[in-house]
Amino acid sequence: MKFKELLQKKNVRPYITAARFGLEKESQRTTFDGALAKTDHPEVLGNRSYHPYIQTDFSETQMELITPVANSINEMLRYLAAIHDVALRSMDKTEMLWPLSMPPKLPVKDEDIKIAKLEQFEGILYRRYLAREYGKRKQMVSGIHFNFEYAIELVHQLFAIQEEYETIEEFKNILYMKVSRNYLRYRWLITYLFGASPVSETGYFSEKEDHPKEPVRSIRNSAFGYQNKENVNVSYESLQSYIEDIHRMVENGILSEEKEFYSAVRLRGGKQMSDLPKTGIRYIELRNLDLNPFAPLGIEEESLEFIHLFMLFLLWTDEKETPNDWVATGDLLNEQVALGHPFAQVNVLAEGDRIFAEMDEMIEALGLFNFKKVLEVHRGQLRTPDLTIAGKMWTIIESNSNHELGIVFGKEYQGMAFERPYQLAGFRTMELSTQLFLFDVIQKGIEVQILDEQEQFLKLEHKGHVEYVKNANMTSKDSYIVPLIMENKTVTKKVLANAGFVVPEGDEFDTLEQAEQAYVKYSEKAFVIKPKTTNYGLGITIFKEGASLADYSEALKLAFKEDSAVLIEEFLPGTEYRFFVIDDQVRAILLRVPANVVGDGVRSVEALVAEKNLNPLRGTHHRSPLEIIQLGDVERLMLKEQNLLVTSVPEKDQIVYLRENSNISTGGDSIDVTDDFDESYKQIAIEAVQAIGAKICGIDLIIPDKSVKGSKDSKTYGIIEANFNPAMHMHTYPHAGQGRHLTMDALKLLYPEVFEKE
Same domain membership, residue 221 and residue 80: yes
Domain limit, last residue, from 570, 591, 607: 570
Same domain membership, residue 524 and residue 404: no
Give residue 758's pLDDT. Answer: 62
Give residue 47's pLDDT. Answer: 83
| Angle value at C-alpha 721, between 738 and 452, nearest 5 degrees | 75
Give residue 1's pLDDT. Answer: 67
Same domain membership, residue 539 and residue 410: no
d(CA 76, CA 424) in angstroms, rounded, equals 15
d(CA 604, CA 649) in angstroms, rounded, equals 4
d(CA 161, CA 197) in angstroms, rounded, equals 44
Yes or no: say if 183 and 265 are a contact pair by the CB < 8 Å rule.
Answer: yes
d(CA 61, CA 97) in angstroms, rounded, equals 10
Q: Which long-range contacts (CB under 8 A, 24 or more apart) does 709-714 make?
A: 709/678, 709/680, 710/678, 710/680, 710/681, 710/684, 711/680, 711/684, 712/500, 712/501, 712/684, 712/687, 713/500, 713/502, 714/502
d(CA 32, CA 303) in angstroms, rounded, equals 28
Give residue 757's pLDDT. Answer: 67
Share of the chain above pLDDT 90, in %: 83
d(CA 202, CA 426) in angstroms, rounded, equals 37
d(CA 367, CA 237) in angstroms, rounded, equals 32
Same domain membership, residue 410 and residue 532: no
The answer on pLDDT for 218 being more than 70 is yes
Q: What is the pLDDT of residues 10-42, one digit of tens each?
A: 999 999 999 999 999 999 999 999 999 999 999
Distances (CA, A) of 401 to 192, 222, 396, 517: 22, 22, 7, 80
Alpha helices in 627-741 (DSSP H): 633-641, 679-692, 729-732
Confirm whether 544 is domain-assigned.
yes
How confident is the model over 78-102, as a mean pLDDT? 98
Confirm whether 626 is domain-assigned.
no
Q: What is the pLDDT of residues 119-139, one digit of tens each?
A: 888 899 999 999 999 999 999
From 30, 159, 6, select the one nearest 104 (Cα to Cα): 30
Q: CA torsion sign, 364 to 367 to 373 to 377?
A: negative
Give every CB contact of residue 609 below 8 A, 6+ residues apart in sequence: 597, 629, 631, 658
Distances (CA, A) of 442 to 27, 53, 82: 18, 7, 8
The answer on pLDDT for 104 being more than 90 is yes
How confident is the model over 268-273, as a mean pLDDT? 81
Give residue 276's pLDDT. Answer: 87
Give the CATH number of the domain where residue 563 resides.
3.30.1490.20
DSSP state of 275: G
d(CA 143, CA 621) in angstroms, rounded, equals 38
Per-chain mean pLDDT for the chain: 94
Confirm whether 232 is domain-assigned.
no
Give residue 229's pLDDT. Answer: 87
Domain limit, last residue, from 389, 417, 445: 417
Same domain membership, residue 155 and residue 55: yes
The answer on pLDDT for 536 being more than 70 is no
Same domain membership, residue 413 and residue 514: no
Least confident of 89-93, 218-222, 713-717: 713-717
The answer on pLDDT for 480 being more than 70 is yes
Count CB-CB contacts under 10 A for residue 86: 25
Yes or no: say if 652 and 600 are a contact pair by the CB < 8 Å rule.
Answer: yes
From 190, 260, 195, select the one nearest 224 (Cα to Cα): 195
Split into its structural domains, the chain has a count of 2
| Angle value at C-alpha 625, between 624 and 630, nearest 5 degrees | 75
Confirm whether 551 is domain-assigned.
yes
Same domain membership, residue 522 and residue 396: no
DSSP 204-256: SS-TTS----SS-SBSTTSTTSS---TT-----S-HHHHHHHHHHHHHTTSSS
Same domain membership, residue 535 and residue 408: no
When pLDDT is cut at 50, 70 and 90, the band that residue 534 belongs to is: low
571-603 per-residue burial string, b: 16 or more CB within 10 A, e: under 16 = bbeeebbbbbbbeeebbbbbbbbbbbbebeeee
d(CA 743, CA 588) in angstroms, rounded, equals 12
Give the CATH number of the domain where residue 49 resides.
3.30.590.20
Q: What is the pLDDT of residues 677-700, one digit of tens each?
A: 999 999 999 999 999 999 999 999
Confirm whether 325 is domain-assigned.
no
Q: Is 460 helix (H, G, I), strand (E, B) or coil?
A: strand
Domain limit, last residue, from 398, 417, 436: 417
Same domain membership, residue 408 and residue 275: yes
The enclosing H or E element of 718 equals strand 718-723
Burial of 298 (0-12, 13-18, 19+ CB in 10 A): buried
Same domain membership, residue 518 and residue 410: no
Confirm whether 671 is domain-assigned.
no
Between β-strands 626-627 and 618-619, what pairing exists: parallel, antiparallel or unpaired? Answer: parallel
The answer on pLDDT for 535 being more than 80 is no
Yes or no: say if 404 and 47 are a contact pair by the CB < 8 Å rule.
Answer: no
When pLDDT is cut at 50, 70 and 90, the band that residue 524 belongs to is: confident
When pLDDT is cut at 50, 70 and 90, the band that residue 618 belongs to is: confident
Q: What is the pLDDT of residues 296-343, one digit of tens each?
A: 999 999 999 999 999 999 999 999 999 999 999 999 999 999 999 999
d(CA 270, CA 224) in angstroms, rounded, equals 31
Yes or no: say if 625 and 671 are a contact pair by the CB < 8 Å rule.
Answer: no
Residue that wins the pLDDT comparison between 758 and 665: 665
Confirm whether 52 is domain-assigned.
yes
Confirm whether 756 is domain-assigned.
no
Count CB-CB contacts under 10 A for residue 655: 12
Same domain membership, residue 42 and residue 142: yes
Give residue 706's pLDDT. Answer: 94
Residue that wins the pLDDT comparison between 160 and 524: 160
Range of the domain at 278: 3-227+262-317+342-417
Same domain membership, residue 300 and residue 183: yes
Distances (CA, A) of 308 to 144, 283, 314, 379: 15, 13, 10, 15
How confident is the model over 594-609, as a mean pLDDT? 95
